[in-house]
Chain A
Amino acid sequence: MDRIEKRLYVVICSMFTIMITAGFVSGGFIETVRAFITLQTLGARLIQDFTYTHVGAALVNSALVGICGLVIVFFSEIHLAGPTMAAILTLTGFGLFGNTPFNSIPIILGVWIAAVTARKTLGAYSIIAMFGTALAPIVTYLAFELFGGGLWTIVLGIAVGLVIGFLLPAIAGTMLLTHQGYNLYNIGFSCGFLGLFIAGLLKAAGRLRDLSIVWNETFHPVLYLLIPFFGVMLIVCGFLIDRNVSVRDTLASFVKIQKLPGRLPSDFIDMASAGGTLVNMGLLALASWTYAAIIKAPMNGPVLGGMLTIIGFGGFGKSLKNCWPVMAGTIIATLVFGKSLTAPGPILAALFCTTLAPVAGQFGIIAGLLVGFIHLTMVETTAIWHGGLDLYNNGFAGGLTATLFIAFMQWYRTNRPREDFEQ
Chain B
Amino acid sequence: MKRKEFLGRLIGEISGYILQGNPLRMVISLHQEEDGAHISIFDDIKRDESELKKIRTALNPTSKRPELAEYYGLMAGHDTPWDARLKLVGWQIKKATVENSDSGIQIELWLGGDAFNPDHFTL
Distance in angstroms from A218 CB to nearest chain B CB is 39
Interface membership of A79, Cβ < 8 A = yes
With contacts A409-B81, A410-B81, A413-B81 taken as known, whether A180 is within 8 angstroms of B67 at the C-beta atoms is no
Interface majority SS (helix, strand, loop, mixed), chain A = helix
Distance in angstroms from A382 CB to nearest chain B CB is 23
Beta-carbon contact of B72 and A123 below 8 Å = no
With contacts A176-B72, A264-B72 taken as known, whether A121 is within 8 angstroms of B82 at the C-beta atoms is no
Binary per-residue interface labels of chain A (214-230) against chain B in the complex, 1 for a CB within 8 Å, 0 otherwise:
00000000000000000
Distance in angstroms from B79 CB to nearest chain A CB is 5
User: A175 vs B79: C-alpha distance in the bound complex, in angstroms?
Assistant: 13
Interface membership of B23, Cβ < 8 A = no
Interface membership of B74, Cβ < 8 A = yes
> Which chain B residues border A270 with CB–CB below 8 Å?
61
Distance in angstroms from B102 CB to nearest chain A CB is 28
Interface membership of A37, Cβ < 8 A = no
Chain B interface residue bracket vs A: 10 to 19
- Interface segment out of the listed A56-64, A125-133, A248-256: A125-133
Chain A interface residue bracket vs B: 20 to 34
> Which chain A residues border B70 with CB–CB below 8 Å?
120, 124-125
With contacts A173-B74, A176-B75 taken as known, whether A265 is within 8 angstroms of B81 at the C-beta atoms is no
> Which chain A residues border B81 with CB–CB below 8 Å?
409-410, 413-414
Beta-carbon contact of B66 and A78 below 8 Å = yes
> Which chain B residues border A128 with CB–CB below 8 Å?
71
Interface membership of A329, Cβ < 8 A = no
User: A228 vs B69: C-alpha distance in the bound complex, in angstroms?
Assistant: 35
Closest to A264 in B: B72
Beta-carbon contact of B72 and A265 below 8 Å = yes
Interface membership of A84, Cβ < 8 A = yes
Q: Given B65, B67, B78, which contacts A177 in the complex, CB threshold below 8 Å?
A: B78
User: A264 vs B75: C-alpha distance in the bound complex, in angstroms?
Assistant: 9
Closest to A177 in B: B78
| Segment 51-78 of B: residues with Cβ below 8 Å from A | 61, 63, 65-72, 74-75, 78
User: A176 vs B61: C-alpha distance in the bound complex, in angstroms?
Assistant: 23
| Residue of A126, A128, A265 with most chain B CB atoms under a 10 A cut-off | A265
Binary per-residue interface labels of chain A (142-173) against chain B in the complex, 1 for a CB within 8 Å, 0 otherwise:
00000000000000000000000000010011
A-B contact pairs, 27 of them (CB 8 A): A78-B66, A79-B65, A79-B67, A83-B67, A83-B68, A120-B66, A124-B67, A124-B69, A124-B70, A126-B67, A127-B68, A128-B71, A169-B71, A172-B71, A173-B71, A173-B74, A176-B71, A176-B74, A177-B74, A177-B75, A180-B78, A180-B79, A181-B79, A263-B82, A267-B68, A362-B82, A409-B81
- B residues neighboring A (CB under 8 Å): 61, 63, 65-72, 74-75, 78-79, 81-82
